Structure 1
Amino acid sequence: MSTTVFAMLAALLYLGATGLHLIHVFQRRQRVTRGVAILGGLALLCHCAVAVQSVGGQGGLSLGFYTISALMFLAINLLCVLLMVRRPLQNLLIILFPLSAMSVLISTFAPETAAITTDLPGGLLLHIGSSILAYALLTLAAAQSALVAAQDYQLRHRHTRGIVQILPPLQLMEKMLFELLAAGVLMLTVAIISGFIFLDDIFAQSLVHKTTLTLLAWALFTVLLWGHYKLGWRSQTAVRLTLAGFAALMLAFFGSKLVLELVLHRG
């Protein structure tokens, strides 16, 4: 089956799962239902096929600006599903599934912007893999922080209906946020260290902005974790620093790739 067919199926299944999950959320069902699980599982299988064919085709790795999005969201979704075994993160699917539908379509129909890489040493694979895992975890943390911000606002203004009714208690929401941040910072640390070790020059002209912004994101996340465990930072402070760090990380990865591949045409 072609990549185009898999992409269309994945997008439709993701959107179907989102719609069904939204209905169940408004019905105040606490768990992911069988229908959502089936649609989401089939969507993930089709998404996996798209990622393999888009990123791993043509005898090498294609990590261009458009094609990498499918791999990123596949990692994000798989992590979310695995973490849902122990934590109630199912409300994040309302955000992730529509974005995943868009990512598989963009990955399939957008033009290739980077050269195919055929020879990657193990150290560089470690850097790429840890970077993807860090981005996935910190994306989940950013989405979780948005829910924490909305919930905290509602509670501060004594609104007891709406989002407050469908989310776990704020204390648990914040605990899940900091668990995601801690795991994300750990993987980001591995990515940074492996980059310094295995990349020829991490501060080369083509990488300096990416490296600087990544280090800024790491610093913001690390300060937030320190402030939480040592000074008790939470709620709005946690949300602001999480989103600021995530914005820096987004600019580091996608901003640098956008400039290099779409503006300067240097894949």
Structure 2
Amino acid sequence: MMTGLLPIFAFAAYLLATGSVLMRLFHPKGPHFKLMFSAGILGLVLHMLALTQTLFTPAGQNFSLINVSSLVCWLVTVAVTVTALRTPTVLLLPVVYGFAALMQIATLLVPQDLQLQHFEQNISLLVHITLAFLAYVVLTMATLYSFQVSYISSRLKQKDFTPVSQYLPPLMQAEAIQFRLLMAGTVLLGLALAIGVVFIENWLAKANLHKTILSALAFLVFVSLCWGHARKGWRGRTAITLTVIGTCLLTLGYFGSRFVKEVIIDRLG
């Protein structure tokens, strides 16, 4: 009973957090931050409790597609919320809270598959997956920041100083955070790939080959971007395009194949 109610309560909390930003986005006093953070943190707690019940089972860890998606969503939402306590991220908050709300609906509507893992028996796999998750979360944040940088840049070019502008970070600060996240995420992704190559026996097996290739391609894109920014001063549209390409490759590498297998093929079969 409680397992089914937790996502509903989390959805309501996330929806309230999203609405508290959007309804006062262009208000002279800005969004109602106390209400937003209170609702957002409540949503995170409820989301975590619901996720814990479905992820950890007596038979092992259930890493089904919906559970993994919910876990990544929770990690991104936590990261953006914590960042927002110190850096203005008013444009990112309704995006992550809104997506987290939709994820709660998905957990209720999408049938749960059973994809058991036993990480206590394979520490190397646990480290690899942990690093891969962290890399994906950090690089997703970098992608969100790249969109925010693009928006701030366009507002400055148009000399648009609407009330929401005062709740955005300075362009240089937003760009600096974007590239710090890119660098950190690229390092984490490189470590995850290195551990996979060295310690995971079926790294190049047919079932994992597409994931390996797409992850490696994404890593090369991010390495090229970090090098280009440091040596050639790449920024703006070039940085945004390469960031989105790299993140899409990572998303396809893991979620794409599992979505086709678990949601489309298994349902039709």
The worse-fitting range, judged by mean Cα deviation, of 132-141 and 80-89 is 80-89
Q: Deviations over 1:157-188 (max 9, x none)?
A: 44444765542222111111111111211221
Aligned match of 2:211: 210
Give the Å deviation of 1:138. 1.1
Aligned match of 1:151: 152
Counterparts of 1:133 and 1:6, CA distance in 2: 25
Counterparts of 2:59 and 2:113, CA distance in 1: 17
Give the Å deviation of 1:207. 0.9
**SS of aligned partner of 2:59:** coil
Would the alpha carbon gap of residues 28 and 233 (structure 1) be closer, same or farther in structure 2, given more than 3 Å must change? farther
Would the alpha carbon gap of residues 165 and 82 (structure 1) be closer, same or farther in structure 2, given more than 3 Å must change? closer
Would the alpha carbon gap of residues 126 and 157 (structure 1) be closer, same or farther in structure 2, given more than 3 Å must change? same
Using structure 1 for the length normalisation, give the TM-score: 0.90
User: How do residues 14-25 of structure 1 correspond to structure 2 at under 5 angstroms?
Assistant: 14-25=14-25
User: How do residues 25-64 of structure 1 correspond to structure 2 at under 5 angstroms?
Assistant: 25-27=25-27, 29=29, 33-64=33-64
Q: Answer yes or no: is the 8 Å Cα contact 1:66–1:110 preserved in 2.
A: yes
Counterparts of 1:128 and 1:180, CA distance in 2: 19
**SS of aligned partner of 2:206:** coil
Aligned match of 2:194: 193
Aligned match of 1:141: 142
How many residues align? The count is 266
The worse-fitting range, judged by mean Cα deviation, of 122-131 and 83-92 is 83-92
Aligned match of 2:104: 104
Counterparts of 2:19 and 2:171, CA distance in 1: 25
Using structure 2 for the length normalisation, give the TM-score: 0.90
Aligned match of 1:225: 226
**SS of aligned partner of 1:89:** coil
The worse-fitting range, judged by mean Cα deviation, of 201-210 and 143-152 is 143-152
Give the Å deviation of 1:32. 7.0
* AA matched with 1:199: I
Give the Å deviation of 1:215. 0.8
Counterparts of 1:11 and 1:162, CA distance in 2: 29
Counterparts of 2:223 and 2:32, CA distance in 1: 33
Aligned match of 1:9: 9
Aligned match of 2:262: 261
Give the Å deviation of 1:83. 2.8
The worse-fitting range, judged by mean Cα deviation, of 8-17 and 156-165 is 156-165
Counterparts of 2:114 and 2:144, CA distance in 1: 29
Residue 81 (structure 1) aligned with residue 81 (structure 2) = yes
Mark the runs of 5 or more structure 1 residues left unpaired by the alignment.
none
Aligned match of 1:234: 235
* AA matched with 2:261: L
Would the alpha carbon gap of residues 187 and 144 (structure 1) be closer, same or farther in structure 2, given more than 3 Å must change? same
Counterparts of 1:253 and 1:162, CA distance in 2: 40
Q: Percent identity?
A: 30
Q: Answer yes or no: is the 8 Å Cα contact 2:138–2:181 preserved in 1.
A: yes
Aligned match of 1:70: 70
